[in-house]
Amino acid sequence: MALDPRFLSILCCPVSKRALKPLSRARLGFLNDAVRAGSVQNVACAVLNAVITDALISDDDKVIYRIDDGVPVLLPEEGIGTTQFTDFPA
């Protein structure tokens, strides 16, 4: 589900305050492959076990936030750090 560009323009990472952008399909596919393998943790160290249907990523490409039913989940502890992946796509 695409977010309204006006809504997206006011969203930011709750920790760094950096702008957020939609996660590309290629990156989402990579992330979900890792979720299926049981190798993804959020900031709270909880292992993710549900496939992510849509997400946002900070403009410095460091933190991913999932979108649940069209609502961005911008809780700091729910963020997914990209540094846990050695080969996260550029």
| Region 54-60 average pLDDT | 98
CB 1 within 8 A of CB 54: yes
Residue boundaries of the structural domains of the chain: 5-83
Confidence label for 12 from pLDDT (cuts 50, 70 and 90): very high
Q: In angstroms, rounded to a whole number, what is the distance separating the alpha carbons of residues 48 and 50?
A: 6
The backbone torsions φ and ψ at residue 59, rounded to the nearest 5 degrees and listed phi first, read -70, -10
CB 66 within 8 A of CB 54: yes
What integer pLDDT is reported at residue 2 of this predicted model? 75
Q: In angstroms, rounded to a whole number, what is the distance separating the alpha carbons of residues 46 and 7?
A: 29
The backbone torsions φ and ψ at residue 26, rounded to the nearest 5 degrees and listed phi first, read -65, -45
Confidence label for 35 from pLDDT (cuts 50, 70 and 90): very high
